[in-house]
Amino acid sequence: MNIHTYEKLWLVAAMVLIVGFIATITYGSVGLGITMVGDQQPTIEPSEISDDERFGEPRVEHVGENEYEAYVVAQTFAFSPDPIEVPANSEVTFYVTARDVIHSFSVAGTNINTMVIPGEIAEMTVEFDEPGEYGIVCNEYCGSGHHDMEGMLHVVPEDEFDMTELSVDADDELELGDEAAFNVSVENRMLDDLETTATLEIGDEMLEEELTVAGGDLEETTFTVDTTDLGEGEHDWTVAIDNYEESGTLTVVEELETDDENEDDDGDNGSDGDDDENDDGETDGGEDDE
């Protein structure tokens, strides 16, 4: 074949360019350890997500020193959990699956980006060096409300990050002279122990208790207050631990209308106010808990 000299040179240059591209990407993968979303994860039945150990309750888990796992579910037209909160200076592995149609999980302005396909689980490990707030968008068309599908990723400073959950079980209404009991449970989902102080403020009274919650554990304590000291009427109370607060109102009356004490009336609200969906779930759970 008769090929012009310039054309030969061009041909060689083109081949060098192509081989160069492939080489740099191979280096990125092998040398720098940039891995792709692949088939590392098993499949999952979308109809069984709710019962799944990881995705039944979408959340962030602490799995090692500075290592976290985030289980995320995408569905029309929301991500769960939302926002996703992780500490700076950490390595987070995201596991993302879809409940209905194909979505994406894409953190705007970063290379955190994956398709989310029903039946499949995408796995991505990301290092977060600095605190920051990022928007999460679905960039795969998923139906008429596609443009409303968004979430947030909060990378909080390391020293402000915890995975504490506070819930308080207290009476709503008591008879004058009864003991008011505030059952406080503190869950520490970090692996490290949590040393903290729980406080109860009611009326003019202020009670304090030192608590140590072991990593991955739940600690309970009870504050008791004599209603005689409070007197008749409505009393606002607040239980606080670190940055979390739980409030309610206790009504003290002369005589209760029914003689049954409503023991199980709890104020089991998620304390961080972050996971809207889960909180609703927990509240429902509390009410069913007879």
Partner 1 sequence: MAKPTEVRTMSEAGSTYIDAFPAEAKVVRAAFYSSFLALAIGGLFGVVQTLHRTDVYRFMDSADYYTVLTAHGVLLAITFTIFFLVGVFTWAITTSLDRGVEDIRFTWAWYGLMVLGTALVAIPIFAGFTDSIDMSASVLFTFYAPLQAHPLFYLGLVLFVVGTWLAGVDWFRSWLAWKAENPDERIPLPTFMVLTTTLMWYIATLGVAIAILAFLLPWSLGLIDSVNPLLTRTLFWFFGHPVVYFWLMPAYMMWYIMLPKVSGGKLFSDPLARVVFVLFLILSVPTGIHHQYLDPGIAEGFKFIAMTNTMFLLLPSLLTAFTVVASMEHGARQRGGEGYFGWLKALPWRDPVFTGMALAGLMFAAAGFSGMINAGMNINYLVHNTFWVVGHFHLTVGTAVALTFMAVTYWFLPQVTGRALWNRSVALVQVVLWFVGMTFMSNAMHRAGLLGVPRRTAEPQYDGFEFEAAVGSVGELNAQIALGGILLTLSLALFFANVVGTAFNGKSDSLPANGYAETLSGSEDAPLVLDNLKLWTAIAVVLVIFAYTFPILSIVDRGGLFGPDVNPFPVSLDTLPVLGLVLEQYVTTALATAGELTGSIVTEVTP
By CB under 8 A, the residues from 197 to 256 that bind partner 1 are 218
- The verdict on 270 binding partner 1 (CB under 8 A) reads no
Q: How far is the CB of 244 from partner 1 (least distance, A)?
A: 19
- The verdict on 114 binding partner 1 (CB under 8 A) reads yes
Q: How far is the CB of 111 from partner 1 (least distance, A)?
A: 4
Site for partner 1 in 155-194 (CB under 8 A): none
- Distance, in Å, from the CA atom of 156 to the CA atom of 161, rounded to the nearest integer, reads 6
Handedness of CA 44, 46, 51, 53 (dihedral sign): positive
Q: Which stretches does DSSP call E strand in the chain?
A: 59-64, 67-75, 78-80, 84-87, 90-98, 103-107, 113-116, 122-128, 132-137, 150-156, 164-170, 173-175, 179-188, 194-202, 205-213, 217-226, 233-241, 244-253
Query: What token pair was written down for 23?
Result: 């080489």
Q: Which stretch binds partner 1 (CB under 8 A): 29-37, 63-71, 157-165, 253-261?
A: 29-37
Q: Please answer whether residues 239 and 168 qualify as being in contact, where contact means their C-beta atoms are separated by less than 8 angstroms.
A: yes
Q: How far is the CB of 133 from partner 1 (least distance, A)?
A: 7
Indicate the residue among 149 and 202 with the shorter CB distance to partner 1: 149
Indicate the residue among 93 and 199 with the shorter CB distance to partner 1: 93
- Distance, in Å, from the CA atom of 82 to the CA atom of 74, rounded to the nearest integer, reads 10
- In this structure, the number of other CB atoms found within 10 A of the CB of residue 248 comes to 18
Q: Please answer whether residues 135 and 156 qualify as being in contact, where contact means their C-beta atoms are separated by less than 8 angstroms.
A: no
- The verdict on 28 binding partner 1 (CB under 8 A) reads yes
- The verdict on 289 binding partner 1 (CB under 8 A) reads yes
Q: Please answer whether residues 245 and 220 qualify as being in contact, where contact means their C-beta atoms are separated by less than 8 angstroms.
A: no
81 upstream amide cis, omega within 30 of 0: yes
Site for partner 1 in 81-110 (CB under 8 A): 96, 99-102, 104, 106-110
Indicate the residue among 221 and 238 with the shorter CB distance to partner 1: 221
Among 12, 29, 160, 273, binds partner 1 (CB under 8 A): 29
Among 31, 47, 130, 204, binds partner 1 (CB under 8 A): 47
- Tokens 């290092």 label which residue? 127
Indicate the residue among 101 and 176 with the shorter CB distance to partner 1: 101
Site for partner 1 in 122-151 (CB under 8 A): 122-123, 133-135, 137-148, 150-151
Beta-sheet pairing, 150-156 with 179-188:
unpaired
- The verdict on 4 binding partner 1 (CB under 8 A) reads yes
- The verdict on 6 binding partner 1 (CB under 8 A) reads yes
77 upstream amide cis, omega within 30 of 0: yes
- The verdict on 75 binding partner 1 (CB under 8 A) reads yes
Among 201, 205, 265, 282, binds partner 1 (CB under 8 A): 282
- The verdict on 12 binding partner 1 (CB under 8 A) reads no
